[in-house]
Structure 1
Amino acid sequence: MRRNKICGILNLTESKSAIDPLTRHRPIASLPFCSRYRLIDFPLTNLTTAGVDTIGVFTHDNLRSIYDHVRSGKEWGLDSIYGGLFFFSDPRLDRRANRYSAEGDLLNYYNNIEFFDKSESEYTVVMGTRMLCAIDVQAILRHHIEQGAEVTVVYKSMENIDNDDQNTACLTIDEDGRVRGLKSSVLHDKTDHVYMNMEIYLLKTELLTKLIRNGVAENEHCNLSDLLHQAIIALPSNGFEYTGYMKNIHSVRSFYEANMDMLHDSNLLALLKGSQHIHTKVKNEAPTFYSRSSDVTDSLIANGCIIHGEVAHSVIFRNVLIEKKTVLNSSVVMQGSSIGSGAELHYVILDKNVRIEPNTKLIGTQANPIVIEKNSVISRIVEGDFTRLTNIGKSISEVDSKQSSKDFFHHY
């Protein structure tokens, strides 16, 4: 590696249980977004646009989907002689757990601490993937140097925060921009004005490695995020306010809302068409085919689809088939799924390779969209009783496939 002023850390040990079943077989970083992207595309673009050419990806499970999407990092200019993309996984951590491991992830950083030494970087920026944003990392660095802080943490000034996420913290910041306190968002009222911690930190690499070594000596079962929370309270730390579009992907509802947000031009332009172009894995597909019977309004549809039915206010990924007389409204349909003739779907998230058979009716709500797990088949409800499908959110994916034929839900 050659000397660069900044190296990047993607901390993928993120709590994902509230997004199940979408994260049952993938980390948050691999979640599909906005008809063609993955969430990991955004921090990778944020870093490489700022000239960061050495990035360490620290994770604890489900690396296959990350490898398949990122590969050598070519799309982000990371397949070079100098620097590159480096993956670090700790086999001690429970790969099957859909939550933080009791072991913590700090030891993974300690065991791979030579990464920081070999990067020869003066500063390190740490970020995850669940805070969806397009941020200027060089602006954070300039602010950090100007303020002379030990640690700079990025925050978003917000009203009406989702206070049901115990893994999101809010900062107390004084009039000089100094961080004076930190507490969980669940301790705030929903209507409070808060400074949400976006879990993006910039500090000197030497300080970070010192914190990691000291942290492991005191408690090797700690998480890096907890260590950084302690650091911004114990050390002179400054806040950097991010004013662009941001969404905290911490639940099925927030994931759904983020996709729906992209149907508004202002949000789409702010996130995808701003000062930096978001890079992703390139897939060459034929243009989408719209038949004479199709009726599409206010939707984002990727290439490779075949549309015969009615689509409104929806986000559709590649290679999706929508048959005639189908009604799809306010829904997210991921890659390779098909919806049979006469089906009606409202407020639904279909994961990859789902098959909706003809004349099926799925009706969720905006607050509780129905989620269908990938590789599933949803067949016609024999008795026409739709009450089990309404307002049940993710639980639809948990129906036992061995139940009677009246239970409509089964797996390949």
Structure 2
Amino acid sequence: METSRLLTVSKPLAALPFCGSYRLIDFPLSNLTAAGSESIGIFMNEQYRSIYNHVRSGSDWDLDGISGDLFFFAPGIDQSRYGQNHEDLVNYYDNLEFVEKSDSDYVVVLGAQVLCNIDLRALLQNHLEQKAAITVVYKTARRSEGESLPIVELDMSKNGRIKGMVSEETLDKKRVPINMEIYCMKASLFIKVVRCSVARNEVYYLREALHQAVAEFSTYGFEYTGYMKKIQSIKAYYDANMDMLKDANRIALLGGSHQIGTKMKNEVPAYYGPKAAPYHALIGEGCRVNGCIRHSIVNRNVSVYEGTNLEDSIILEDCIIGENVYLKHVIVGQGTYVKPNTRITGRADQPFVLEKKQTPHRIP
């Protein structure tokens, strides 16, 4: 499975909860605001309500100033006027005025699919020093760490210049420069790339347009050395959450070059009953715990009843886990009620997913 479709039926990937209190969109927003970005545009798909409800005015990221630095762009209704469905590329084309009127000299493109804590000021400085047309951020890692099959690897020369992209389907121990899909370029070049791509009618996604631009213009790489995970599958999402149970990973991602911000909900602290037994777990605010939780992540406002055992699992927001439940290697979707005496076991390489607001019966 290429994307976490079972988790994104009613919300975009960027709105998925992460590490007990965060959402995936918190990371690109925090990276941009920490760099002092003057204008931020969030380009969304049709399922934009959950993103807007989470971000709102951007006050939790100090984006609610009088200058109006935060903008939301939903896709248009009729894309047929361009000959074919251009997917997200049309949304950028229709809203190029945002870039033109921002008076910004440079544009940084990044999404919520890549988890990282990156210093974008250092990226811009490197871009200027290299006198590059485009700078692409990459992480040197083993292919098995990229979590994308196939992964997109950069074809780089010894001086750091990028000649193009290489798609690899094999898994081995070789360390390669993995494209993190973060790009820095002049605003004028970004506008040109989008307009030309729509005019050519050859690609339908901004990502594809940028891949072509890398081969056409002088492009250099910027190496990122911190924690990184690409969320391109359910397993990658599961592994990234489980990684946060290790202090080194959690500190590197949440407090690296800057703190990661999120929406403050002013919840009460988690309540632990007399029979609660949390071991090596991250538990969000507003939870009521009366069972055993081992090596798991429980997001906000979850109730865990007596006799229940959660192992190596992720429980998303607003769930109720009934009495005498056993879950191992399971991801429980938001708002799900797991009935008493339910037993579900997945695998570390293939976690079982309960979709949002399901009411599962006993699974043998």
Q: Does 1:108 align with 2:91?
A: yes
Name the CA distance, whole Å, in 2 between partners of 1:364 and 1:227: 38
Residue-by-residue CA offset, 1:203-222 (whole Å, 9 max, x unaligned): 00011111222222211753
Asked if 2 retains the 8 angstrom alpha-carbon contact of 1:105 and 1:221, the reply is no
- Give the 3-state SS of the residue equivalent to 1:374 in structure 2: coil
1:175 is aligned, of 140, 158, 165, to 158
Q: Any idea what SS the aligned residue of 1:345 has?
A: strand
For 2:23, the aligned partner's letter is: R
**Cα deviation 1:145-190 (Å, max 9, x = unaligned):** 011110000001011436773574110111111102212232x433
Gaps spanning 5+ residues in structure 2: where? none
Summarize deviations over 1:245-264 as a string: whole Å, max 9, x none.
00000000000000000000
Alignment counterpart, residue 277 of structure 2, candidates 276, 291, 295: 295
Q: Normalised by the size of structure 2, how large is the TM-score?
A: 0.95
Shift of 1:191: 2.9
Higher RCO (C-alpha 8 Å, min separation 6): 2
1:302-341 superposed matches below 5 A: 302-341=284-323
The 5 Å alignment of 1:251-400 reads: 251-381=233-363, 386=364
Q: Once the two structures are superposed, what CA deviation does each residue of 1:99-127 show, in whole Å capped at 9, x if it has no partner?
A: xx943322222221111111100000001
- The residue type paired with residue 307 of structure 2 is K
Shift in Å, 1:286: 1.3
Identity %: 44
- Which of 28, 31, 40 is the aligned partner of 1:43? 28
Residue among 59, 64, 82 paired with 1:79:
64
**Partner AA of 2:153 in structure 1:** C
| Amino acid across the alignment from 1:248 | K
**Contact persistence 2:153–2:176 (CA under 8 A):** yes
How far did residue 39 of structure 1 move?
0.3
Q: 1:128 to 1:167 in 2, by over 3 A?
A: farther
Pair 1:93–1:370, CA change in 2 (3 A): farther
Runs of 4+ in 1 over 6 A off after TM superposition: none
Letter in 2 for 1:140: L
Contact 1:83 1:119 in 2 (8 A): no
2:164·2:211 contact (CA, 8 Å) conserved in 1? no
Q: Match of 1:64, as an amino acid?
A: R
Aligned ranges 1:191-270 → 2 under 5 Å: 191-219=173-201, 222-270=204-252
| Match in the other structure for 2:39 | 54
- Whether contact under 8 Å (2:153, 2:166) holds in the other structure is yes
Instruction: Tell me which of 15, 32, 55 is aligned to 1:70.
Output: 55
Tell me if structure 1 keeps the 8 A contact 2:88–2:206.
Answer: yes
| 2-structure distance, mates of 1:83, 1:233 | 35
Distance 2:27 2:36 in 1: 15
State the shift of 1:60 in Å: 2.2
Residue pair 1:124, 1:204 contacting (<8 A) in 2 also: yes
Output the CA distance in 1 between the equivalents of 2:88 and 2:283.
Answer: 38
CA RMSD of aligned residues (A): 1.8
Say which SS state the counterpart of residue 377 (structure 1) adopts.
coil
1:60-96 alpha-carbon deviations (Å, 9 max, x no partner) = 21010001100011111111111421111223479xx
Q: How many residues align?
A: 360
Once residues 246 and 294 of structure 1 are traced to their aligned partners in structure 2, the CA distance between those partners, rounded to angstroms, is 33
Q: Which residue pairs with 2:136 in the alignment?
A: 153
Map 1:115-194 to 2 at 5 A: 115-161=98-144, 165=148, 168-186=151-169, 188-194=170-176
| Partner Cα distance (2:305, 2:86) in 1 | 48
Secondary structure of the residue aligned to 1:240 is: strand
Structure 1 window deviating more from structure 2 (143-152 vs 158-167): it is 158-167
Pairing of 1:397-412 with structure 2 (within 5 A): none
Q: Pick which of 110-119 and 306-315 moved more.
A: 110-119
* 1:295 CA displacement: 1.0
Deviation of residue 18 (structure 1)? Answer: 2.5
Q: Distance in 2 between matches of 1:109 and 1:167?
A: 26
Task: List per-residue Cα deviations over 1:231-284 (Å, max 9, x = no partner).
Answer: 111111000000000000000000000000000000000011222111111011
- AA partner of residue 159 (structure 1): R
Q: Which residue number corresponds to residue 405 of structure 1? A: none
* Alpha-carbon contact 1:102-1:221 (below 8 Å) kept: no
Measure the CA separation in 1 of the matches of 2:227 and 2:140. 11
Offset at residue 17 of structure 1 (A): 5.7
Question: Are residues 247 and 164 of structure 1, via their aligned partners in 2, closer, same or farther at CA, if it must alter by over 3 Å?
Answer: closer
Any idea what SS the aligned residue of 1:198 has? strand
